Structure 1
Amino acid sequence: MSEAATPVRDPIQETIAPPGTLWSHMKSDPQYAPEHLALDAVRRLGPEAAQWAERMRLDRPGVSPDALAALAIRRFTTLARISGAVSGATGLPGAVLDLGVLAWTQSRMVLHIAAAYGEDPAATERATDLLVLQRVHKAAEGARLALGVAAGRERASRMFTDVADRPLTGVMLKLGFRLGQMAGVHAARRMFAKMVPGASVVLGTWVNSAATKDLAARARAHFSPA
């Protein structure tokens, strides 16, 4: 009797929040939170995106880059749509958590789109692409400079940290603003919605979807040879 084949797990099916170490870096340095997230996304999610694209091309011989990109966009838009409804946290912490998950999910999508069009999603330049496409920086040169600063501050934070001496509310407000900017979502509205029962589900679902679709269109235009 032959053994049943073990199904291949598709990493896109899983909603994964930013890792704890990334949250620590962003809280200790909220001004450069988008840069820390972009650097960590390329390191952690780039290889995942490359493996996904390779496996999909093997499973679907002749599949076009546009078709692969469309598949990734559909899946990640769905994940983004539900990400604002699954968090049980309320108030300011809940809003910041939602924004971080959304920015992380959108970064995964962009890296998968890059892989669909044959770009290396694990290349360091993808962090620059993320920041420009997510409109944290207007031009690649500014994004590269900010990434270099964030990388240096990340190394320094392993030896020194001042987060314990700073008001937590101020840190979270700054972090929420910067993550909202990266995710294409108005942070203040997301925080307000968290105060109103049920509003975060309705508003989060619509806003997350719209922001992610807009980002997907920019990413396709950026990576597509056409």
Structure 2
Amino acid sequence: MPEPVSDESAPSTMVPASTGDAGEVTTGDATETGDALEIAGPPDGLWARMKADPTYAPEHLALEAVRRFGPEAAEWAARMRAARPGITPDALADLAVGRFLRRARLSGAVSGAAGIVGAVADVGVLAWTQSRMVLHIAAAYGADPTHADRATDLLVLQKVHGAAQSARLALGVAVGRRRLAEMAGRGGLGVSVARLGVKLAQMAGLRAAHRVFAKVVPGAAVILGTWANSSATRDLARRARDHYRTGRTG
């Protein structure tokens, strides 16, 4: 059964990322139909926001993920429950984890570029995919995936912040910085591609951080990619399931 892909494009084949000036990354996607996998990276507007304000890149990504994927996750969970009456939350979460784990394993293939720009694209796509997975897991356990608290959950579960209070504070700062940048009529508060890569790698999981540097060496990321993505995503899925299963959704 084809699944909705929010407002993203859905060509029939995987489209590699294109890179322009330093740090400019545009990813493509492919549609999941049967065994085909749709792999989408952050939209161009989010990339620009994160490049301009790399210190708060995880916060910008979490806020945009909830906005884009929260409604999708809620619709998916409702549709699955209607199609499979009596399905348990654990079984529904299994479907979500399986769906996005496959994408995480292949997410590095979306970026066709070597070097630091390609590395940033890789970890950005992985963090985006993982965030989408967490929101689907939340929906599987009955938490509202569109609620603002889900952005807080993402930052804590992805170990960007150690507690909900600090995550909420950082989200508020990120929103304020974005508004200040918009009022000033400029892209943000400073650009650092390497810094952005480190922040996104932190969000995607410790093992994924090695890919930022391994990607610079041709062939290294191909060897590490599947294992690193899978391991980091499995760890995150386990934490998310524990969190939502016990009802800690505040």
TM-score over 0.5 (shorter chain): yes
- Give the match for residue 48 of structure 2: 24
CA distance in 2, matches of 1:110, 1:188: 20
Gaps of at least 5 residues in structure 1 are 1-6
Kindly report which structure 2 residues correspond to 1:135-174, keeping only aligned pairs within 5 A, or say none: 135-160=159-184, 166=190, 171-174=192-195
Give the CA deviation at 1:155.
Answer: 1.3
- Give the match for residue 107 of structure 1: 131
CA RMSD across the alignment: 1.9
- Give the match for residue 224 of structure 1: 245
Q: Which moved more, 1:100-109 or 1:11-20?
A: 11-20
Greater helix proportion: 1
Q: 1:208 aligns with which of 229, 233, 240?
A: 229
State TM-score, norm by structure 1: 0.90
SS of the residue 1:159 aligns to: helix
The superposition leaves residues 53-99 of structure 1 with CA deviations (integer Å, 9 ceiling, x where unpaired) of 01101111111100010111011111000011332111000000001
CA distance in 2, matches of 1:198, 1:85: 12
Q: Which amino acid aligns with 1:9?
A: E
Q: 1:176 aligns with which of 197, 213, 217?
A: 197
**Paired-residue identity, %:** 63
The superposition leaves residues 152-179 of structure 1 with CA deviations (integer Å, 9 ceiling, x where unpaired) of 111112122666995x5xx001101100
**RCO higher in 1 or 2 (8 Å CA, sep ≥ 6)?**
1
- Give the match for residue 98 of structure 2: 74
Q: How many residues align?
A: 217
Kindly report which structure 2 residues correspond to 1:179-190, keeping only aligned pairs within 5 A, or say none: 179-186=200-207, 189-190=210-211
Q: Which amino acid aligns with 1:107?
A: S
Conservation of the 8 A alpha-carbon contact between 2:208 and 2:232: no
CA distance in 1, matches of 2:139, 2:3: 18
Q: Which moved more, 1:128-137 or 1:196-205?
A: 196-205
Q: 1:42 aligns with which of 34, 45, 66?
A: 66
CA distance in 2, matches of 1:67, 1:141: 31
SS of the residue 1:158 aligns to: helix
Gaps of at least 5 residues in structure 2 are 6-30, 33-37
Do structure 1's residue 85 and structure 2's residue 137 form an aligned pair? no
The superposition leaves residues 201-221 of structure 1 with CA deviations (integer Å, 9 ceiling, x where unpaired) of 120110000000000000000
SS of the residue 1:195 aligns to: coil
The 1:60–1:141 alpha-carbon spacing in structure 2 relative to 1, beyond 3 Å, is same
Q: Which amino acid aligns with 2:195?
A: K
Task: Look at both structures and tell me which one has the larger radius of gyration over its CA atoms.
Answer: 1
The superposition leaves residues 97-125 of structure 1 with CA deviations (integer Å, 9 ceiling, x where unpaired) of 00110000000000000000010001000
CA distance in 2, matches of 1:134, 1:199: 25
Q: Which amino acid aligns with 1:97?
A: A
Q: Which amino acid aligns with 1:26?
A: M
Conservation of the 8 A alpha-carbon contact between 1:132 and 1:140: yes
Give the CA deviation at 1:8.
Answer: 4.6
Conservation of the 8 A alpha-carbon contact between 2:39 and 2:110: no
The superposition leaves residues 10-64 of structure 1 with CA deviations (integer Å, 9 ceiling, x where unpaired) of 5493211101111111011100000000000001110010010011011111111
The 1:148–1:197 alpha-carbon spacing in structure 2 relative to 1, beyond 3 Å, is same
Conservation of the 8 A alpha-carbon contact between 1:42 and 1:124: yes
Conservation of the 8 A alpha-carbon contact between 2:207 and 2:228: no
CA distance in 2, matches of 1:112, 1:165: 32
Give the CA deviation at 1:195.
Answer: 2.7
Q: Which amino acid aligns with 1:23?
A: W
SS of the residue 2:246 aligns to: coil
SS of the residue 2:184 aligns to: coil
